[in-house]
Amino acid sequence: QSALTQPPSASGSPGQSVTISCTGTSSDVGTYNFVSWYQHHPGKAPKLMIYDVSKRPSGVPDRFSGSKSGNTASLTVSGLQTEDEADYYCSSYAGVNNISFGGGTKLTVL
């Protein structure tokens, strides 16, 4: 069982927006602003999409945004495109140099 809770699946049509949640506790997401989101196309290298809750690395489209409220972080993908179909994982610093991950959300673009 993963330390962070994500819905197993999410979906949307091209052009729509979808939000994926990531629920932790006061020991991780609720205390630290070190929440990251990764996109993973199976068989390929994972890709960092969001770090420090809401920052985007260079090259990541601004259609991807992150936020946090209490113990729950969220990733929103706006203007869905077919290439956004992938698995998405959240992670959070959990203190004492420990990193927790969510179980992953499979995003389907209908």
Contact flag: residue 97 with another protein (CB under 8 A)? yes
For the chain, the 3-state helix, strand and coil shares in percent, each to the nearest 5, are 5, 50, 50
Interface with another protein, residue 52, by CB under 8 A:
yes
How many CB atoms are closer than 10 A to CB 78? 16
Among 20, 66, 102, 109, binds another protein (CB under 8 A): 102
Using the rule CB under 8 A, which residue among 5, 19, 25, 40 binds another protein? 40
- Residue 48 touching another protein (CB under 8 A): yes
CA angle 51, 78, 49 (to 5 degrees): 20
**103 makes contact with another protein (CB under 8 A):** yes
Rounded distance between C-alpha atoms, residue 86 and residue 40, angstroms: 6
**Interaction with another protein in 64-83: which residues (CB under 8 A)?**
none
Asked if residues 84 and 65 have their Cβ atoms less than 8 Å apart, the reply is: no
Q: Is 110 in the site for another protein (CB under 8 A)?
A: no
Spatial separation of the C-alpha atoms in residues 87 and 78, rounded to whole Å: 16
24 binds another protein (CB under 8 A): no
Binding site for another protein (CB under 8 A): 2, 32, 34, 36, 38, 40, 43-48, 51-52, 57, 89, 91, 93, 97-104
